[in-house]
C-alpha cells in the first residue's frame, strides 16, 4: 500500500472570471492519518478538499490519491469510480428524504450492483460502527431522525464501500455542543479501528486537536502553518497563536 494517501503538488485554482483561491499548495498526507484543514471562511479549505474527489479541478498542479492523478481523469466512468472510492461527509448530510435509512446507507452499493444480501450485511455493519441500531432505524426516513442520527447515517453511507480515503467537510458544524462531542468521540474511536486517510475541514481548533494527527492552516489560499497536532498549543507561528488565543478566550468564564 502506498505510504502517501493524498498528495497536492503545487496546486493552484482560479475559477473562470474570478480571483485566485489557492496558490501552489503542496501537501502529502500519509496513508492512515487524519489531517485537519483550518482557516477563515474563504481561505480555500473546501475547494482544496473537493479537489480530492474531482468536484473541483485545479488550474495548475496535480492532486493524487494513492499515486493516481485525480485531475487527469477524463471519462465519466472513471470519475464516477473515483468518487465511489472516496468517502465524503458533509454538514448537511445529503440524505435523500424519500429513501429509508437502509436505502440511503446502501445507495452506493446499489448503484454498483452489489447483491441484496451483501448490501444488507454491510449496511448493518456500517450503521452499527456509527453507533446506530440497524433494526430500529432501517425503515425510518431522515425526517424521523435527530440531527446527530442523520450525521451518523451520512458517515455510515460514506463508509459503505470501505474507501481508503475519507473527506469530511464541517461534518458536525450544525450540531449542538453535547451531540457534537458525542460524534467526535465516536469518530475518533472509529478512525483508530478503520485506518483511513482522512481530510477534515473544520473551523473548530478543539475538534481538530482532538481528531487529527496534523493541523494545516490556510490563509488567502496559501498554507501558513503545517505541524503535528501535539505541537499546536506551544507553536510560535503567529497564525497558530491567533487560533489558540481565540480558543482560550472562549474558555474564560
Q: What is the mean pLDDT of residues 146-156?
A: 93
In terms of domains, do 248 and 135 share one? no
In terms of domains, do 77 and 187 share one? yes
Q: What is the pLDDT of residues 6-61, one digit of tens each?
A: 999 999 999 988 899 999 999 999 999 999 999 988 899 999 999 999 999 999 99
Does a structural domain hold residue 19? no
**pLDDT score for 139:** 96
Decide which of 162, 184, 214 is a domain's last residue.
162
**pLDDT score for 75:** 83
Does the pTM exceed 0.85? yes
Instruction: Supply the CATH number for residue 41's domain.
Output: 3.40.50.300
Does a structural domain hold residue 43? yes
Residue 32, all three cell numbers: 492512515
In terms of domains, do 80 and 107 share one? no
In terms of domains, do 188 and 245 share one? yes
In terms of domains, do 75 and 110 share one? no
Residue 252 has pLDDT above 60, yes or no: no
In terms of domains, do 59 and 178 share one? yes
Does a structural domain hold residue 57? yes
In terms of domains, do 216 and 118 share one? no
In terms of domains, do 244 and 183 share one? yes
Residue 1 has pLDDT above 60, yes or no: no
Does a structural domain hold residue 15? no
Confidence band of 230 (pLDDT split at 50, 70, 90): very high
In terms of domains, do 81 and 170 share one? yes
Number of structural domains found in the chain: 2
**Is residue 116 packed enough to be buried (19+ CB in 10 Å), middle (13-18) or exposed (0-12)?**
exposed
As a whole-number percent, the residues of the chain with pLDDT over 70 amount to 97
Name the one residue in this structure whose C-alpha cell is 483508530. 192
Decide which of 162, 197, 222 is a domain's last residue.
162
In terms of domains, do 179 and 253 share one? yes
Q: What is the mean pLDDT of residues 208-233?
A: 95
Q: What is the pLDDT of residues 104-138, one digit of tens each?
A: 999 999 999 999 999 999 999 999 999 999 999 99
Decide which of 162, 194, 217 is a domain's last residue.
162
Q: What is the mean pLDDT of residues 65-70?
A: 88
Q: Which domain holds residue 53?
A: 33-85+165-253
Does a structural domain hold residue 9? no
Name the one residue in this structure whose C-alpha cell is 446506530. 132
Provide the strand spans (E) within the chain.
4-13, 22-30, 34-39, 60-65, 68-69, 86-90, 165-169, 197-201, 214-219, 222-228
Does a structural domain hold residue 24? no
Q: Is 154 helix (H, G, I), strand (E, B) or coil?
A: helix
In terms of domains, do 242 and 184 share one? yes
Q: What is the mean pLDDT of residues 214-240?
A: 95
Point out which residues pair with 89 in neighbouring strands: 168
Does a structural domain hold residue 199? yes
Does a structural domain hold residue 125? yes
Amino acid at each position: 500500500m502506498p505510504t502517501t494517501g493524498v498528495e497536492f503538488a503545487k496546486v493552484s485554482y482560479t475559477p473562470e472570471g474570478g480571483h485566485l483561491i489557492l496558490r501552489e499548495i503542496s501537501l502529502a498526507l500519509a496513508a492512515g492519518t487524519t489531517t485537519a484543514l483550518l482557516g477563515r471562511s474563504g481561505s480555500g479549505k473546501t475547494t482544496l478538499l473537493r479537489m480530492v474527489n474531482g468536484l473541483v479541478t485545479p488550474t495548475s498542479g496535480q492532486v493524487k490519491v494513492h499515486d493516481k492523478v485525480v485531475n487527469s481523469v477524463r471519462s465519466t466512468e472513471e470519475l464516477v469510480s473515483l468518487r465511489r472510492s472516496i468517502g465524503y461527509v458533509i454538514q448537511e448530510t445529503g440524505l435523500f428524504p424519500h429513501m429509508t435509512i437502509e436505502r440511503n446507507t446502501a445507495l452506493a452499493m446499489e448503484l454498483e450492483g452489489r447483491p441484496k444480501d451483501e448490501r444488507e450485511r454491510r449496511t448493518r455493519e456500517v450503521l452499527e460502527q456509527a453507533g446506530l441500531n440497524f433494526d430500529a432505524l432501517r425503515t425510518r426516513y431522515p425526517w424521523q431522525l435527530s440531527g446527530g442520527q442523520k450525521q451518523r447515517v451520512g458517515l455510515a453511507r460514506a463508509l459503505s464501500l470501505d474507501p481508503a480515503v475519507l473527506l469530511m467537510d464541517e461534518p458536525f458544524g450544525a450540531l449542538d455542543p453535547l451531540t457534537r462531542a458525542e460524534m467526535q468521540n465516536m469518530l475518533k474511536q472509529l478512525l483508530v479501528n478503520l485506518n483511513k486517510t482522512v481530510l477534515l475541514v473544520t473551523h473548530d481548533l478543539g475538534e481538530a486537536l482532538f481528531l487529527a494527527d496534523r493541523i494545516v492552516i490556510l490563509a488567502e489560499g496559501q498554507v501558513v502553518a503545517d505541524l503535528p497536532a501535539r505541537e499546536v498549543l506551544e507553536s510560535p507561528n503567529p497564525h497558530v497563536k491567533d487560533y489558540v488565543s481565540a480558543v482560550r478566550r472562549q474558555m474564560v468564564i
